[in-house]
């Protein structure tokens, strides 16, 4: 394939989102929209990636740098239209060779294959190639005006005549250019239109006037679904979830009630994982084959090994690693903790900044007290240890292999292997006390 440069436009204020946050930072499946466009460009093999961002959008700049620190960031100080925005990336365009693709940061579902299809249209001789699509309702989109089957112009909705508004073939947003023609074309675009903006879409009519070849490549609407407001953001999320659920099931994951399970962009579930109803996968979750995630659990930044069982009603936070056949039961929270093979944390516990050895049994209501208001401390529990119910383990603390901790203990000192630690008030019995008490109250 020819050299590929991609420019992603992300400078819009996103007025219709009514948000203090730039539109492209609103997330789908836990990934900001701009991240989707950047990944598609990278997967399509873009050698250079330029992103045009709005003034003062430091969070957008950080996202771009996190996703790809080789990307060139350009700031569009004044929002004067999509052609104006592309021209901000002039340094990337001046010496570009091959194909330049322009993508929008608010169109998250464009695939690398579609980018490649557009690039091929340019390699086959087009100076400009446009992604056409047929949305259920064309209102708001630019219309592709054709004559004798040839694309002659794109007319923005706000500039379209009544007749042009009836055209159903619309501009999906992404466009490909022969690198030799992009700057001469864009530099010639004016702003004489309904919005007083420099429209990238005017490149089509201009190219035609100059006798350059222009073509439209039709792609499915789902791929160029654009997000301009929060209702469309929710629709994009729903489309994303539906696609992810289906992909997971086809890859061998059992979803008992798929419509109630929510994925992130990076959720990795192996074949033969089972997910019960009402489970949320926040970013960063991996589960190996045979893992069972029971109902009403919330998982984030964690890994489940083969045959691990989590929930119902479990919360796994970043850094939780559940070993082979280990169990995290109801109303347990685990954070930054490795749970050894076959270990059990079955009821009402908080395990944070800890490691739990293979086969250990953590009784109901066990708490690792990991925080003193300033620093976090670790709790290490050995293999085969048995922690009695309702124990507080005050970190830093080590409980040796095979040790026992008596129920209700507040353990502040290390427990040697195979020892018993009991740290609670001694039981006192007063025979007949209750009976005497009732007599004093006149109840007998």
- Residues marked as catalytic: 347
If one asks whether residue 276 binds ligand UD1 (CB under 6 A), the answer comes out as: no
CB of residue 227 to Ca ion, shortest distance in Å:
7
Q: Using the rule CB under 6 A, give the single segment among 102-110, 215-223, 286-294, 296-304 that binds ligand UD1.
A: 102-110
Which residue has the closest beta carbon to ligand UD1? 142
Beta strands, E only, 15-142: 27-28, 31-32, 48-53, 72-75, 99-104, 128-133
Q: Which of 27, 49, 63, 106 binds ligand UD1 (CB under 6 A)?
A: 106
If one asks whether residue 135 binds Ca ion (CB under 5 A), the answer comes out as: no
If one asks whether residue 142 binds ligand UD1 (CB under 6 A), the answer comes out as: yes
Q: Interaction with ligand UD1 in 180-199: which residues (CB under 6 A)?
A: 199
Q: Which of 45, 98, 135, 226 binds Ca ion (CB under 5 A)?
A: 226
Query: Rounded to whole angstroms, what are the CA distances from 54 to 62, 77, 150?
Result: 13, 6, 35
Number of H helices, E strands in the chain: 10, 36
CB of residue 51 to ligand UD1, shortest distance in Å:
10
Judged by beta carbon, residue 81 or residue 382, the one nearer ligand UD1 is 81
If one asks whether residue 171 binds ligand UD1 (CB under 6 A), the answer comes out as: yes
If one asks whether residue 85 binds ligand UD1 (CB under 6 A), the answer comes out as: yes
Q: Interaction with ligand UD1 in 32-61: which residues (CB under 6 A)?
A: 52
CB atoms within 10 A of CB 178: 23
CB of residue 229 to ligand UD1, shortest distance in Å:
11
Binding mask 352-381 for ligand UD1 (x = CB under 6 A): ------------------------------
Query: What is the distance between the alpha carbons of residues 272 and 78, in angstroms, rounded to a whole number?
Result: 52
If one asks whether residue 89 binds ligand UD1 (CB under 6 A), the answer comes out as: no
DSSP 136-185: SS-TTSPEEEEETTEEEEEE-GGG--HHHHT---EEEEEEEEEHHHHHHH
Q: List the 327-330 sheet strands across, edge first.
A: 254-255, 274-275, 292-293, 309-310, 327-330, 344-347, 361-362, 386-387, 404-405, 420-421
Q: Which of 4, 182, 200, 397 binds ligand UD1 (CB under 6 A)?
A: 200
Query: What is the distance between the alpha carbons of residues 65 and 82, in angstroms, rounded to a whole number?
Result: 22
If one asks whether residue 170 binds ligand UD1 (CB under 6 A), the answer comes out as: yes
User: Considering CB under 6 A, how many residues would be counted as binding ligand UD1?
Assistant: 28
Beta strands, E only, 227-372: 254-255, 261-262, 268-269, 274-275, 279-281, 286-287, 292-293, 298-299, 303-304, 309-310, 315-316, 320-322, 327-330, 333-339, 344-347, 350-356, 361-362, 367-369
Interface with Ca ion (CB under 5 A): 106, 226, 228
Chain residues in the site for ligand UD1 (CB under 6 A): 9-12, 52, 76, 79-82, 84-85, 104-107, 141-142, 154, 156, 170-171, 173, 199-201, 226, 228
């Amino acid at each position: 394939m020819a050299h590929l440069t991609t420019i992603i436009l992300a400078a819009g204020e996103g007025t219709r989102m009514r948000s203090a946050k730039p539109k492209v930072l609103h997330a789908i499946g836990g990934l900001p929209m701009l991240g989707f466009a950047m990944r598609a460009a990278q997967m399509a093999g873009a050698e250079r990636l330029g992103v045009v961002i709005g003034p003062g959008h430091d969070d957008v700049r950080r996202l771009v740098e996190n996703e790809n620190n080789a990307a060139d960031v350009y700031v569009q100080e004044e929002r004067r239209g999509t052609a104006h925005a592309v021209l901000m990336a002039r340094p990337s365009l001046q010496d570009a060779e091959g194909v330049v693709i322009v993508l929008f940061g608010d169109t998250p579902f464009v695939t690398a294959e579609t980018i490649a299809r557009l690039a091929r249209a340019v390699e086959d001789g087009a100076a400009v190639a446009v992604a056409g699509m047929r949305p259920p309702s064309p209102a708001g989109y630019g219309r592709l005006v054709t004559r004798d089957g040839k694309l002659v112009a794109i007319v923005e909705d706000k500039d379209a005549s009544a007749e042009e508004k009836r055209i159903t073939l619309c501009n999906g947003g992404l466009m490909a250019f022969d690198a030799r023609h992009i700057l001469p074309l864009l530099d010639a675009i004016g702003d004489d239109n309904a919005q007083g903006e420099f429209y990238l879409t005017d490149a089509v009519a201009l190219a035609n006037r100059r006798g350059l070849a222009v073509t439209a490549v039709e792609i499915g609407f789902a791929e160029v679904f654009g997000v301009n407001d929060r209702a469309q953001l929710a629709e994009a999320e729903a489309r994303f979830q539906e696609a992810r659920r289906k992909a997971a099931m086809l890859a061998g994951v059992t979803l008992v009630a798929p419509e109630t399970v929510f994925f992130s962009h990076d959720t990795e579930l192996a074949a033969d994982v089972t997910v019960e109803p009402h489970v949320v996968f926040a970013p960063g979750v991996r589960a190996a084959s045979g893992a069972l995630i029971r109902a009403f659990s919330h998982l984030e930044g964690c890994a489940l090994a083969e045959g691990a069982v989590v929930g119902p009603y479990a919360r796994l936070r970043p850094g939780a690693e559940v070993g082979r056949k280990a169990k995290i039961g109801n109303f347990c929270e685990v954070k930054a903790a490795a749970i050894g093979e076959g270990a059990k944390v079955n009821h009402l516990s908080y395990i944070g900044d800890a490691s739990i050895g293979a086969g250990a049994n953590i009784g109901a209501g066990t708490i690792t007290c990991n925080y003193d208001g300033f620093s976090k401390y670790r709790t290490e529990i050995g293999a085969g240890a048995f922690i009695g119910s309702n124990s507080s383990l005050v970190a830093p603390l080590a409980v040796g292999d095979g040790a026992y901790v008596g129920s209700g203990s507040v353990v502040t000192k290390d427990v040697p292997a195979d020892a018993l630690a009991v740290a609670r008030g001694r039981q006192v019995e007063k025979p007949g006390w209750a009976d005497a008490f009732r007599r004093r109250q006149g109840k007998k």
